[in-house]
Structure 1
Amino acid sequence: MRIDLHTHSRASDGTQSPAELVHAAVAADLDVLALTDHDTAAGWDEAAGAASAAGLRLVRGMEISTRFDGQGVHLLAYLPDPSYPPLAAELERILEGRRSRVPGILEGLRGAGISLTEADVARVSGHSAASGRPHVADALVALGVVADRTEAFDRLLSPGRPGYVDRYAAPLRDMIGLVAAAGGVSVVAHVWGRRHDESPDGRALAELAGLGLAGIEVDHQDHSPAARERLRGIARELDLVVTGSSDHHGDGKVDHDLGCHTTAPEQLERLLDLAAAAALASGRDAPGPV
């Protein structure tokens, strides 16, 4: 069984519709797919319909922007009830942070001699829940300023670059509890990816496990083999679920093909058991897998 628990559609910053993503997953011989768009459940219904028709098992989730001790950390939330008012309000606040930073990004790019408009960004963002840096990157690609998203981020959009603008992210400690209250479970995403040090470290991850963190995304393209082994050891010590995924964005990310990293079936079943227990404890009408 091949299981990919972290993917994105055009509902956030992927380049495929939710249905197209499902069809691509079937073509990639996946048996289970999680749709985890950034800070939104907007693609769930379309993906669920396509998955049911295609015979693919779908796990509904989202990747939530959070901050932990001054660092940005992404949290994968699986099977929460997105209509739970405190969660819905926090997701809207995060999305508004994405939307509101675009004018500042464009102003910074103009200061670097690059003329890009909000209309240019809107042409590539389509039906996403909120335009953000990836869509600015796509607009830069469309104008021929850069070759791909990676170059756009490296040259222009990352911290310290002319087009970088900070934005709101939810407190990680609070968000773990909020996801649980919504009947879902949390897995920290690519926790050591793109960092110069291994942080949050084992002690910090132990604290988060005490707050209800269910797992660590260990097998990810941005983790070196050595980092994966160290994270696997931490997960074992803390009795956390170990997941693996592609972090697929369609054409938006190179070397993140569907199924390039997968989750073991027994780890998925453990995650789903924890989600079922969280839904029962919360009393929420949380969605099960399709």
Structure 2
Amino acid sequence: MNMFITKVILLAIVTCASGASVNLDSSNLQAIVTEVVRNILSDGHSGENIKTVALLKEINELKNQHIRLEQRIDMLEQEQRDKDTNICSLQNNMNTLVEMIARNDSIRAQNLTIHTSHELLNKCRAWKSNVFPTENSRIETLQRKKREVIPTQAPARRIAFSAYLTHTHSGLSPGQAIKFDHVLLNEGHGYNPYLGDFVAPISGTYLFTFHFHSRVHTFVRLTVDGVNIVDAVANPHTGTHDKESMSGNTVIIHVGIGQAVLVEVYDVSGEAASSDKYRLCSFSGFLLYPENPS
């Protein structure tokens, strides 16, 4: 573009020098410049102008692409911030639960808004698998290698628990676990009174039994990781003075390491009536034999 302007000026000077006697008023000067521009364009400089216009279009297109890329980056950064917020929220919930357990704050733990115990376990497992997939894989690999290298060594076999409910829990919603809060025995530390579930420390064959007392129609079942195993129903007699009823069940099943076993209400809202004096609701279990005995 600078070369183009330089040529216009030089040609105008040459023209003026060749015709010095010409009166150079504004109209004559404009005519001279117009003629010079026409000569330059006819001399092949129109191609330079076309190239310049094409270059400007390409620059504008690159600017538009840059803007679109910045918008895409902003959107991805927002998605990452949302994911980080969700992870922090789950981690805060876990930290709160751990602090409550450490303080032995059973009242607050019972009032924690958890529809089912296995729901919290599933959320924690999903969070760990999403945040630490590599670490989990490494741990599983090391555990598998340890079993292969030292097959004769096995963890402690003394696993047993028993607990009962110290109060009446009315209005239990379907899917809500009965939290047997007073622990009589917890060898192997598999039972959690704050959640009401037993998490198997090792894989093996276990025996579980539960009993409950109710003054209303109540369906109860024992589940393993949310899967129904056995049921029981309390159906109080009508037309009599005493309308209370007790029920329960016993089962022998295989449970894998880390699986959660609990007793929950289902189908309709129910009740578990008990007290510290009359211990009518209980949950017990123990390991019969491990999956890989030494």
Q: How would you bin the TM-score normalised by the shorter chain?
A: under 0.3
Bigger strand share: 2
TM-score normalised by structure 1 residue count: 0.23
User: Between Structure 1 and Structure 2, whose CA radius of gyration is higher?
Assistant: 2
TM-score normalised by structure 2 residue count: 0.23
